[in-house]
Structures are given as structure tokens and as C-alpha cells.
Structure 1
Amino acid sequence: MMTDDAAGQLGSYRRTIDNLDSALLYILAERFRCTEQVGHLKAKQGLPAIDNERERRQLDRLMSIANDVGLSGHFVEGLMTMIVGAVVERHREIAAKK
């Protein structure tokens, strides 16, 4: 059985995690709003949805940060692949409507 102190500490950790999860979603929503504008600009200028050089530089930068803060490079690469994949898909949708 869990002690009252442990239960209180666990509850505190969980509230912090809940707040951080909410913050992550708000940040992702803001990122997607920004990339939506990028997609419209790219479509207007006839640019491709994918910019491999930009993606490589960004991943290199984020991998360095991941290393500094103790996150798994594999995790960060997978996360960014998922995020960028969604962005590229949306950019293609935008371009198809132009």
C-alpha cells in the first residue's frame, strides 16, 4: 500500500505531467499554424513541399539539443519525422488547391 506522502508526491508529479502535456499540444498547434503559412507561401511561389536541406539542418540542430538535454536521438528523430511528415502532407494539400 502506498503511503500518504508517496501518494501526494505521485499526484504532484502527475499534475506537472498533465500541465506539460497540455503545453506540448499548445506549442504543436502554434507550430502547425506557422507551417500552414509556410505552405501557402510555398504554393504561391511554386516551391516544393519538401526542403530536404532545411530538414537536415533542423534535425542536426535538434539532435544537438537532444544530446545536451539527455533525450534519445532515436526518439527525437522519430518525433520530428512524424511532425515533418504531417507538415509536408498539409503543404501538398495546399499546393493541390492552388
Structure 2
Amino acid sequence: MTYDSTASSLTGTTDPAILDELLSIRSSIDNIDATLVYLLAERFKCTQKVGQLKARHNLPPSDPEREKAQITRLHELSRDADLDPAFAEKFLNFIIEEVIRHHKAISQEQR
């Protein structure tokens, strides 16, 4: 199945001019989503290197002080960007959990 950027349950039931405007805005959202995916992929490439370094030197998979500092930093960035800091924290915590899971797996592989 391929992605259809014009897919909408509103087709045929909404004024075509409004639907065109909606699709234009959604196109921007699609571009941002693609950028986020590629940025996350780059981020995980870096965290994989961190996990490998930690495993080689028997360091713990998580670093609570680093995580706390990152959340503080993210709150500041969120406020500057006019983004809900609580949402940004949930998002970062999700990423951190995944990174720690990867680090634990890398550590297991190195044993």
C-alpha cells in the first residue's frame, strides 16, 4: 500500500476550496513528520554509539543525572518554542526509555 497525501474522509462532503487549504496544511505536516523521522533516526545512530561505548567500559545503560538535566533543558526549549513542556517531557521520556532499552540490549550482546 502506498501513501496517498490526498486521502480524506471529507472528500465530496466539504467545499473544494476548504479541502484544498486543508490538504496544503497537511502537506506541510507531512514534510515535518518526514523530517522528524529522519532526525530521530540520526539521534538513535548517536545513542547507539553511546550504548556501544558504555557496554565496552561496563557503564550503566542509564544516566539519571543526564536524563534530569535533559528534561530541564527540554522544558526551557519548550517554553521558548511555545510548546507544552509536559508534552515535550512525555515525548523525551519515551525516547529515553527506548534508548535505555537499546543500551541494555547492546550490553547483553557484549557479554
Normalized against structure 1, the TM-score is what?
0.93
Matched, 1:86 2:87: no
Which one has the largest radius of gyration? Answer: 2
Structure 2: distance between partners of 1:89 and 1:65: 26
Matched, 1:31 2:43: yes
Deviations 1:6-32 (A, max 9, x none): 222111101000111111111001101
Match of 2:85 among 55, 73, 79: 73
Amino acid at match of 2:98: A
Aligned residues: 98
Q: Which has the higher helix share?
A: 1
Matched, 1:55 2:30: no
Normalized against structure 2, the TM-score is what?
0.83
Structure 2: distance between partners of 1:95 and 1:48: 9
Structure 2 match to 1:16: 28
* Gapped regions of structure 2 (runs ≥ 5): 1-12
The share of aligned pairs that are identical, in percent, is 39
Q: CA deviation at 1:5?
A: 2.9
* Gapped regions of structure 1 (runs ≥ 5): none
Amino acid at match of 2:26: R
**C-alpha RMSD over aligned residues:** 1.1
Structure 2: distance between partners of 1:89 and 1:4: 47
Q: CA deviation at 1:68?
A: 1.0
Structure 1 match to 2:15: 3
Structure 1: distance between partners of 2:75 and 2:91: 11
